[in-house]
Amino acid sequence: MKHERPLSTSLPRFLSAGCLLVALGCNKNNDNIAAIQYLCASEPPADPNAVGADRCGATDDCSDQNAPWKCLPKEPFVADGRGWPPPDPPAECILKAMRVTPPDGQVLDEPLNYVEAQAVLDTSRINGALNMATCPMVKLMTDGDNNAFLSGQIILTGKTLWVDKGVTLFMSRNAALFQSTGNCGLLGVNDSSACIEFISVGGASPAIIGDGTIDGQGGEPLVGHDYSWWQMSYALRAIDGSIGNPTLINLKSGTTGFLLYRVTLHNSAKFHVKLTSSPAAGVGAGVCDTRADRGKGFTVWGITLLTPSKWANSAGFQLTPSWARNTDGVDPGTTNIAYCGVIACSTISTGDDHIAIKGGHWVSNLTIAHNHFGTGHGMSIGSETYGTYKSPDGVTHLGVSNVDVYDLTVDADSRPVGLDAHPGDFNGIRVKSDESRGGVVDNIVYRDVCMRDMVNGLLVSTAYNPLFAGQSYPDFRNLEFHDVRSVTCGALQPAVVTLEGYNQTLRPTITLDNVVFDNINPKIGVASEFAQFKLGPGDVNFDVQGHGVDVVSNTQTGTSTPKECHFPTLPAPQPPPGWKF
């Protein structure tokens, strides 16, 4: 539904007219100010069980020469004819739940004593089944009303963990079960290595699948304490500290052919998925030369990630995306290289980056397609981009390269964000680095992107943390944006665009083709410097002139139509009765 309202009647009562007029460009004659465009409708979510051409990604054709980027492997379990769900594993590989998922406002009881906790949690029987030679797959399933598992660290090496429909696998709230340096669970300690992860993944072709849920309980008080993992992290925010909370799923170096399929992820204490994986055949020439090869290294398909997943914790503390600090969604390249991968048909709302391609290790040949993001810090690259990798054929690979992102929605209007929302919660696309961690970012292409109520719509920044210094200079090279649209529903300020290279020597080439931001001031809503811009053939409705900027324009006014945007209804916490937003 699209509404046009004159500026004088569209201002929220809690936003001053002067503030918005400054953002839009003041004009003494209000009649000359264009009406604000509103796009507030949402559509039903896609059916994950749709068949035929209606199924997500089913019509992507790698042979289409008119759209060569629109290329995905077949969906897991569909391509090989097995179908979903797969056959059950042997009886000894099926574990039945012995607990009941607590209602909202409550948590599962856990003993404080370490030895007692080890005895009563499900850790031993899950890891025991995963270690059995007869169990290539371990299935967690319900047993009558029992539908919950509670566990310390799970070790998954070259096996499949199936979290069945109706099951919730909870990470323990007992920090002693995740101790690494002695600081895990200690408030106010800046130690990024303090804790081990919840699910440790490695080996050849490991997989986590199913229609169930994995819940890290990041917002719940730790056993024996009155504070949560997230409160520990938030306490270090003022000093940009990094608490060592457990990652929900962490892939070890050397993992090959990882699959994450269909599962729902909630409330990780820190990052949800640290992803390092490559094809079993390695990374040499011919392994992943075409887009059709992608997915051999790793596949993330059809997951739902919602953090926070509920309005308040068991102590009555309101949970917001801002409080869920450092809870990145899916981060390729965090631990080591990530090569030849696909992230598709997923929904992500969280307290930090939706996807962050971490170029501290070489990351290349990725397709990120048909995804829907809610609140979060954006479809991101960086901040680390300095990675290097010398493959067995003697070739040295740098930073982040060869990434296709297409059919993406980013919708900050997807949920009420509650208290303490800040501009960083509303990012669309960002490429970020600084001189302490910079390196090569090259051949990154975004197509068919819709954003709603962004603060930072496009953010290409070489000064991510201006307090950090060094000589690893950001070297952004080729970035392309095609058919990108930013729209407004209930935003308190217009979106801004920042497109910056590092200096006169390290200037990216940025292509903008049919890039339209509703309600932007075409001049003061844009910051650009040290870049070479190629505009067109589609219209660009803002000015990219700036210091150290060259512009070559091939736009053909009137020949392009702004991308038509549709936003699906995304999962969101249920607000209390009577909540107004």
Residue 496 belongs to domain spanning: 380-581
Residues 199 and 255 both lie in one domain: yes
Residues 395 and 507 both lie in one domain: yes
In a domain, 394, yes or no: yes
In a domain, 428, yes or no: yes
In a domain, 566, yes or no: yes
Residues 269 and 308 both lie in one domain: yes
In sequence order, what E strands does 336-454 have?
338-344, 347-349, 355-357, 363-373, 379-381, 388-390, 396-398, 400-411, 427-432, 440-452
Beta-carbon contacts of residue 97 (< 8 Å; ≥ 6 apart)? 140, 141, 142, 143, 146, 147, 148, 149, 167
Question: How far apart are the C-alpha atoms of 521 and 503, rounded to whole Å?
Answer: 26
Q: List the one residue out of 483, 367, 476 whose CA is nearest residue 430.
A: 476
Buried b (16+ CB within 10 A) or exposed e, 314-328: beebebbbbbbbbbb
In a domain, 55, yes or no: no
The stretches in the chain having pLDDT less than 70 are: 1-33, 79-82, 418-419, 423-424, 580-581
Residues making up the chain, counted from first to last = 581
pLDDT digit string, tens, across residues 284-305:
889 999 999 999 999 999 999 9
Tell me the whole-structure pTM to 2 decimals: 0.93
Strands 330-332 and 440-452: unpaired
Residues 434 and 533 both lie in one domain: yes
Residues 348 and 439 both lie in one domain: no
Residues 347 and 387 both lie in one domain: no
Last residue of a domain, one of 300, 333, 352: 352
Question: How far apart are the C-alpha atoms of 77 and 207, rounded to whole Å?
Answer: 12
In a domain, 135, yes or no: yes
Give me the residue label for tokens 């096996």. 159
Give the pLDDT score at 424. Answer: 67
Question: How far apart are the C-alpha atoms of 451 and 489, rounded to whole Å?
Answer: 11
Strands 273-275 and 330-332: parallel
Is the CB of residue 96 less than 8 Å from the CB of residue 146? yes
Give the containing element (helix H, strand E) for 147: none
Give the containing element (helix H, strand E) for 18: helix 17-24
Both tokens assigned to 402: 């060869």
Give me the residue label for tokens 């003494």. 28
Residues 311 and 390 both lie in one domain: no
Beta-carbon contacts of residue 265 (< 8 Å; ≥ 6 apart)? 213, 214, 216, 248, 249, 272, 273, 303, 304, 305, 306, 307
Give the pLDDT score at 336. Answer: 96
Residues 479 and 520 both lie in one domain: yes
Report whether the peptide linkage leading into residue 308 is cis, meaning its omega lies within 30 degrees of zero: yes
Is the CB of residue 45 less than 8 Å from the CB of residue 33? no
Question: How far apart are the C-alpha atoms of 458 and 519, rounded to whole Å?
Answer: 15
Residues 348 and 384 both lie in one domain: no
**CA dist 272 to 217, 261, 397, Å?**
12, 14, 27
Question: How far apart are the C-alpha atoms of 455 and 476, rounded to whole Å?
Answer: 23
**CA dist 543 to 403, 485, 512, 547, Å?**
26, 16, 11, 13
In a domain, 124, yes or no: yes
DSSP string for residues in 76-130: TTTTTS--SSPPP--GGGEEE--B-PPPTT------SSHHHHHHHSSHHHHHHHH
Residues 318 and 227 both lie in one domain: yes
In a domain, 102, yes or no: yes
Residues 341 and 390 both lie in one domain: no
Give the pLDDT score at 392. Answer: 87
Cβ atoms within 10 Å, residue 107 = 16
Q: What's the domain count of the chain?
A: 3
Question: How far apart are the C-alpha atoms of 402 and 364, rounded to whole Å?
Answer: 6
Helices (H), 147-271: 229-234
Question: How far apart are the C-alpha atoms of 385 and 433, rounded to whole Å?
Answer: 7
Question: How far apart are the C-alpha atoms of 305 and 392, rounded to whole Å?
Answer: 36
Buried b (16+ CB within 10 A) or exposed e, 294-313: bbbbbbbbbbbbbbbbbbbb
Catalogue the active-site residues: 352, 377
In a domain, 517, yes or no: yes
Tell me, what CATH number does 162's domain have? 2.160.20.10
Residues 101 and 194 both lie in one domain: yes
